[in-house]
């Protein structure tokens, strides 16, 4: 039997499950009595985990006397009407004889069987992971008639001698709109500390077999259909930003990678820019609220990023060194640790979880309407939007050679917003025309980014002791980077003239 499964996973500590069970908002939705199950599952793969690497999870599950073989496909966070955070997977399920010890590929549709055999490439498919879960199931029905199965899962995943604890809630849509999953999750987030889960049990379990440290990732290219309606492009752009942000959460929170935190901030800036770009033609009060929450989170993460840059790119390159530098570095590292704790506190907060869920709900509901005179097609709007962005850049860039301080900073922000807009809409244009324009714009941004780092360093050093060896070290840092900034500014003037000479490709 094949079916589509849409679920939203929420992670929490075991003690939080008891609070959720008694949540008034939940009690009103429960239908009938809860049921309990002991789920013993064995996941199968090759030694190289070829199936899992291609989005397949093959398992045998025993629940009482029954033995069920399940093949899940397209593992991972999905977009579309699911709101990006809910998982949309294909599931092929069939009963096997009692006591079956291994999967029967002959029970799969021929196309899936052939795909599995091709991935295995002759390697044996054997038991790799054991999942032992105590599950309590509640059936819910919303006022709109949506049917949801809510499962409380407690247990462990075991593989390769290691173990990972499981304490989570799965909200699976049985009938109705995926938006109902987010509304229920938002209610639960008000009574318990929850985090949005983005990995399946099989993905978590196979990580025990092949541990991989989280890595920071840049945004993947966004592909829009040439004839995409404006509403579809709006959802695709916002979804793209959300996926980029959550893809870097583990790198920032679990691994504490500076680049992971940086990419989360980039994703937030891109989202805010998207809300701003589309606001004249589509959006609404909820879009404005999400943009405000994105700004709050970016501000919470910003100081940690500033000190990451200060320590590694401002202080570290300066020579010679001495006692003053060591003290300056020690003070900077202490401040850096404080700012990172602030960032991590925000990323572990209910407010952050609420932001993710409200963002996902906004995408799932798709309750946005085009404003009057809005173009029907994304490519028509894109040209208008990019023209507006470029006009703001040109306005800030008047008398470029005389720009200082805040005026330079303002131009840098406008260049960044133009670049984000180009990334959103570039697939609507010829790649050969887009690439050189982005290259010139990127060179401009790099120079302005370096100048902004130096300006931020001034603000940081103003809070450091100004006397003694530390003060001398700080003065040396400022002097060294001051010389580099002057050279960079002269280069920026040349780059600005080159950039202005390039015709905007979207007007062709």
Crossing angle of helices 378-396 and 258-278, rounded to 10°: 110
State the DSSP H helix or E strand holding residue 362, giving kind and residue range, or none if neither.
helix 350-365
CA distance 451 to 386: 25
**Per-residue pLDDT at 342:** 98
Read off the pLDDT of residues 413-436 as tens digits, 9 standing for 90 and up.
999 999 999 999 999 999 998 988
What average pLDDT does this structure show over 273-294? 95
The proportion of the chain whose per-residue pLDDT surpasses 90, expressed as a percent, equals: 61
Q: Enumerate residues 6+ apart whose C-beta is below 8 A from 21.
A: 152
388 three-class SS:
helix
Read off the pLDDT of residues 145-169 as tens digits, 9 standing for 90 and up.
999 999 999 999 999 889 999 999 9
Angle at 296 between CA 290 and CA 301, to 5 degrees: 125
Structure tokens at 89: 């997977």
Q: Which residue has the higher pLDDT, 465 or 390?
A: 390
**Per-residue pLDDT at 78:** 46
Structure tokens at 430: 């010829």
CB neighbours of residue 27 within 10 Å: 10
Q: Enumerate residues 6+ apart whose C-beta is below 8 A from 261.
A: 248, 251, 252, 301, 304, 305, 308, 340, 343
The proportion of the chain whose per-residue pLDDT surpasses 70, expressed as a percent, equals: 96
Taking CA atoms, 115 is separated from 51, 61, 71, 96, 429, in Å, by 9, 22, 12, 21, 35
Q: What is the pTM of this model?
A: 0.92
CB 126 within 8 A of CB 101: no
- Could you tell me if residue 371 is left (phi over 0), alpha (psi between -120 and 50 degrees) or otherwise beta? beta
Q: What average pLDDT is seen over the chain? A: 90
Span of 140-149, 199-208, 313-322 with lowest mean pLDDT: 313-322
pLDDT at 2 over 70: no
Q: Taking the C-alpha atoms of 265, 271, 276 and 277 in order, what is their torsion angle to the nearest 10 degrees?
A: 120
Structure tokens at 255: 């691994």
Q: According to CATH, where is 1.40.20.10 located in the chain? A: 230-507
**Per-residue pLDDT at 81:** 65
Q: Given this structure, which CATH class describes domain 230-507?
A: mainly alpha
pLDDT at 476 over 80: yes
Q: Enumerate residues 6+ apart whose C-beta is below 8 A from 244.
A: 217, 218, 219, 220, 263, 266, 267, 270
Taking CA atoms, 285 is separated from 108, 279, 282, 292, 368, in Å, by 48, 10, 10, 11, 10
Q: Which residue has the higher pLDDT, 46 or 406?
A: 46
Read off the pLDDT of residues 216-247 as tens digits, 9 standing for 90 and up.
999 999 999 999 999 999 999 999 999 999 99
**Per-residue pLDDT at 80:** 57
Q: Which residue has the higher pLDDT, 82 or 52?
A: 52
What average pLDDT does this structure show over 125-148? 94
**Per-residue pLDDT at 76:** 45
pLDDT at 444 over 90: no
CB 151 within 8 A of CB 137: yes
CA distance 392 to 414: 7
Fold of 2-209: Hypothetical Protein Pfu-838710-001 (2.40.320)
Q: Which residue has the higher pLDDT, 257 or 499?
A: 257
Secondary structure E strands in 23-125: 30-45, 57-63, 66-73, 87-96
What average pLDDT does this structure show over 451-463? 84
Secondary structure E strands in 65-144: 66-73, 87-96, 126-141
Read off the pLDDT of residues 59-113 as tens digits, 9 standing for 90 and up.
999 866 779 999 988 744 444 566 678 887 888 899 998 888 899 999 999 999 9
Q: According to CATH, where is 2.40.320.10 located in the chain? A: 2-209
Read off the pLDDT of residues 322-357 as tens digits, 9 standing for 90 and up.
888 889 999 999 999 999 999 999 999 999 999 999
Q: Which residue has the higher pLDDT, 196 or 485?
A: 196
Reply yes or no: is the peptide bond before residue 366 cis, omega within 30 of 0: no
């Amino acid at each position: 039997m094949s079916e589509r499964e849409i679920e939203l996973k929420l992670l929490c500590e075991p003690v939080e499950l008891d609070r959720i069970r008694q949540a008034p908002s939940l009690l009103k939705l429960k239908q009938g009595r809860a049921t309990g199950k002991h789920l013993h599952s064995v996941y199968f793969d090759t030694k190289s985990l070829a199936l899992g690497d291609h989005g397949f999870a093959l398992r045998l599950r025993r629940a009482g006397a029954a033995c069920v073989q399940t093949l899940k496909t397209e593992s991972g966070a999905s977009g579309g009407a699911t709101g990006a955070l809910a998982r949309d997977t294909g599931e092929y399920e069939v009963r096997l004889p009692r006591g079956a010890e291994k999967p029967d590929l002959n029970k799969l549709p021929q196309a899936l069987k052939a795909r599995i055999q091709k991935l295995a490439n002759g390697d044996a498919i054997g038991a790799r992971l054991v999942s032992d879960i105590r599950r309590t199931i509640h059936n819910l029905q919303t006022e709109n008639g949506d049917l949801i199965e809510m499962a409380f899962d407690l247990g462990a995943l075991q593989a390769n001698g290691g173990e990972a604890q499981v304490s989570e809630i799965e909200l699976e849509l049985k009938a109705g709109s995926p938006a109902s999953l987010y509304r229920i999750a938002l209610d639960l987030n008000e009574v318990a500390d929850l985090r949005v889960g983005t990995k399946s049990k099989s993905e978590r379990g196979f990580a025990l077999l092949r541990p991989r440290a989280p890595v920071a990732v840049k945004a993947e290219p966004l592909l829009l259909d040439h004839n995409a309606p404006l509403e579809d492009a709006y959802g695709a752009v916002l979804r793209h930003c959300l996926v980029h942000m959550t893809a870097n959460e583990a790198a920032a929170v679990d691994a504490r990678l500076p680049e992971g935190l940086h990419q989360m901030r980039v994703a937030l800036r891109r989202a805010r820019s998207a809300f701003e770009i589309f606001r004249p033609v589509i959006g609404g009060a909820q879009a404005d609220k999400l943009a405000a929450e994105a700004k709050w989170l970016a501000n919470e993460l910003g100081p940690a990023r500033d000190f990451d840059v200060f320590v590694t790119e401002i202080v570290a390159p300066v020579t010679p060194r001495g006692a003053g530098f060591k003290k300056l570095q020690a003070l900077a590292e202490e401040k850096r640790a404080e700012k990172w704790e602030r960032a991590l506190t925000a990323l572990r907060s209910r407010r952050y979880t609420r932001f993710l869920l409200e963002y996902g709900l906004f995408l799932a509901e798709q309750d946005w309407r085009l404003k009057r005179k809005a173009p029907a097609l994304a490519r028509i709007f894109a040209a208008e939007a990019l023209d507006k962005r470029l006009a703001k850049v040109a306005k800030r860039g008047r008398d470029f050679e005389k720009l200082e301080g805040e005026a330079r900073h303002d131009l840098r922000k406008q260049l960044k917003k133009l670049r984000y807009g180009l990334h959103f809409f570039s697939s609507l244009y010829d790649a050969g025309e887009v690439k050189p324009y982005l290259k010139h714009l990127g060179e401009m941004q790099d120079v302005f980014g370096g100048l902004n780092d130096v300006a931020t360093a001034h603000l940081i050093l103003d809070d450091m002791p100004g006397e003694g060896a530390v003060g001398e070290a700080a003065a040396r840092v400022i002097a060294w980077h001051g010389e580099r900034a002057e050279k960079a500014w002269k280069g920026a003037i040349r780059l600005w003239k080159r950039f202005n000479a390039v015709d905007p490709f979207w007007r062709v």
